[in-house]
């Protein structure tokens, strides 16, 4: 099977290259970039020297249709909504890593992304690719919308208690902590080493575009509309994302009981690992891998549940989950090409 990557010169793009090179069923056939088309990918990313030496091409739907079977869109917000439909109508499997096809309600997109939304019919067709929760819808899908990094960590952490109505929905608070690669390879002051290093800050309080995505999925799982508090923080590291999610339990479950519930809930999900009682994951422990590790804590005094979930934002939070979704779409083993052991230290 042949793959094209649109936005191959960004961080998610090069991560897709790393992962697909390790995939036994996929051959990378076409690398598409806008600002750097015509250049050799290895001249921009010398780490690919001797591995993938290929010229970046301009976007051309006919060319993609002629040469590839699946196209990944690793583009900034507002790009794939225009380009992806061209590939979809030519019969290609399209996997979008941006936010363009995540929100079902076009007005939500307009409000949170401050851009024109994609075609409403396509939004309706798009399958939300949170692999562990939506496997059935994903199988055979042709338009796959890959989740955001924060929603992936948050929702995998919340799903077991949401599905079984164990928490008070209006008490959900998500305190997110992310490495800087989450915002892509953009030459902006705020992402400079001199600004990020030796510092931590909160940003986009109540205005992050992943908020409606999390809320939409909470509603889908629980059947109820709710407003959450989601506050992301920028951490001085390149990769890694940790969400600390707080919620009040409806009943007095113990941490041990909940851990058993989570173990059971995810027993067929090889990429979700539940941590033993009294331990919580560090982002470093999933670095370079597609794992989402989850630790729990119930405070008996306040009946409050804390969920600590970590991912590598560029893998499970972007390129890795995209490949996992392609595996599910094609009916391959979910782990195909994704059995990377985390790099430690």
- Segment near its own copies (CB under 8 A), from 67-75, 142-150, 197-205, 324-332? 197-205
Our finding on whether 199 is near its own copies (CB under 8 A) is yes
Q: Which helix (H) or strand (E) holds 65?
A: helix 61-67
87, 149, 243, 292: which is the annotated catalytic residue? Answer: 149
Least distance in angstroms from the C-beta of 192 to its own copies = 5
Nearer to its own copies, 118 or 308 (CB): 308
Q: Is 124 in the site for its own copies (CB under 8 A)?
A: no
Residue 337 binding its own copies, by CB under 8 A: no
> In the window 79-98, what residues touch its own copies (CB under 8 A)?
none
118 binds its own copies (CB under 8 A): no
Residue 151 touches its own copies, criterion: CB under 8 A: no
Phi/psi-derived region of residue 307, left when phi > 0, alpha when psi is between -120 and 50, beta in every other case:
beta
193 part of the interface to its own copies, by CB under 8 A = yes
Binding positions for its own copies, 275-304, rule CB under 8 A: 275, 279-289, 293, 295, 297, 299, 301-302, 304
| C-alpha to C-alpha distance for 153 and 317, rounded to whole angstroms | 8
As measured in angstroms, the least distance from the Cβ of 193 to its own copies is 4
Please, which of residues 314-333 interact with its own copies by CB under 8 A? 314
**For its own copies, which residue of 66, 110, 120, 200 counts as binding (CB under 8 A)?**
200
Structure tokens at 2: 């042949």
DSSP state string for 119-187: PHHHHHHPEE--TTT-HHHHTT-SEEEPPPHHHHHHHHHHHHHHHTT-B-GGG-EEEEEE-GGGG-S--
Q: Checking DSSP bridges between strand 143-145 and strand 127-128, what pairing results, if any? A: parallel
Interaction residues for its own copies, span 211-250 (CB under 8 A): 227-229, 231, 233, 235-240, 242, 244, 246
- DSSP β-bridge partners for residue 284: none
Distance in Å, CB of 124 to its own copies, minimum: 26
Q: Nearer Cβ to its own copies, position 36 or 137?
A: 36
Concerning whether 292 is annotated as a catalytic residue, the answer is: no
Q: What are phi and psi of 18, to 5 degrees?
A: -55, -45
Smallest distance, its own copies to C-beta of residue 59, A: 22
Which CB atom, from 43 or from 124, has the smaller least distance to its own copies?
43
Number of residues that bind its own copies (CB under 8 A): 85
Indicate which single residue of 92, 130, 133, 180 sits in contact with its own copies (rule: CB under 8 A): 180
CA distance 12 to 127: 20
Half-sphere exposure of 289 (CA within 13 A, CB side): 20
Residues of this chain, 49-78, that bind its own copies according to CB under 8 A: 49-51
Choose between 79 and 228: whose C-beta lies nearer to its own copies.
228
Supply the minimum distance, in Å, between the C-beta of residue 18 and its own copies. Answer: 4
C-beta of residue 31 within 8 angstroms of C-beta of residue 56: yes
- The CB density around residue 182, as the number of other CB atoms within 10 Å, is 22
Tokens of 27: 């051959």
Closer to its own copies by CB, 107 or 170: give it: 170
Nearer to its own copies, 126 or 311 (CB): 311
How far is residue 71 CA from its own chain's centroid? 17
Nearest CB to its own copies, comparing residues 89 and 201? 201
How many Å apart are CA 87 and CA 224, to the nearest integer?
Answer: 35
72 within 8 A of 5, measured Cβ to Cβ: yes
The residue behind tokens 């670095």 is: 287
Positions annotated as catalytic residues are: 149
């Amino acid at each position: 099977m042949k793959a094209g990557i649109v936005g191959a010169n960004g961080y998610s793009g090069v991560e897709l290259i790393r992962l697909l090179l390790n995939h036994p069923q996929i051959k990378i056939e076409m690398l598409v970039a806008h600002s750097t088309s015509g250049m050799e990918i290895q001249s921009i990313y010398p780490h690919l020297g001797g591995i993938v030496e290929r010229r970046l091409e301009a976007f051309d739907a006919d060319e993609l249709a002629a040469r590839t079977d699946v196209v990944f869109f690793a583009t900034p917000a507002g790009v794939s909504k225009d380009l992806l439909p061209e590939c979809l109508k030519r019969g290609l499997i399209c996997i979008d890593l941006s936010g363009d096809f995540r929100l079902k309600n076009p007005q939500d997109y307009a409000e949170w992304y401050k851009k024109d939304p994609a075609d409403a019919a396509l939004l309706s067709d798009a399958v939300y690719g949170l692999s562990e929760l939506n496997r059935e819808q994903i199988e055979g899908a042709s338009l796959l919308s890959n989740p955001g990094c924060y929603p992936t960590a948050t929702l995998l952490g919340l799903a077991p208690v949401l599905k079984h109505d164990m928490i008070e929905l209006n008490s959900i608070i998500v305190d997110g902590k992310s490495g800087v690669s989450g915002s892509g390879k953009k030459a902006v002051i705020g992402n400079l080493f001199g600004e990020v290093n030796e510092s931590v800050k909160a940003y986009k309080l109540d205005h992050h575009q992943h908020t409606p995505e999390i809320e939409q999925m909470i509603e889908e799982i629980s059947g109820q509309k709710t407003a959450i508090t989601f506050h992301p923080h920028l951490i001085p590291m390149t990769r890694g994302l940790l969400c600390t999610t707080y919620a009040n339990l409806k009943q007095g479950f113990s941490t041990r009981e909940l851990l058993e519930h989570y173990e059971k809930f995810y027993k067929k999900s090889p990429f979700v690992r539940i941590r033993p009682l009294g331990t919580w994951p560090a982002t470093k422990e999933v670095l370079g891998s597609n794992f989402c590790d989850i630790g729990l804590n119930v405070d008996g005094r306040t009946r409050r549940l804390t969920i600590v979930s970590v991912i590598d934002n560029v893998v499970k939070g972007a390129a890795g989950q995209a490949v996992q979704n392609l595996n599910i779409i094609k009916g391959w083993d979910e782990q195909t090409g994704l059995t990377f052991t985390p790099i430690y230290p």
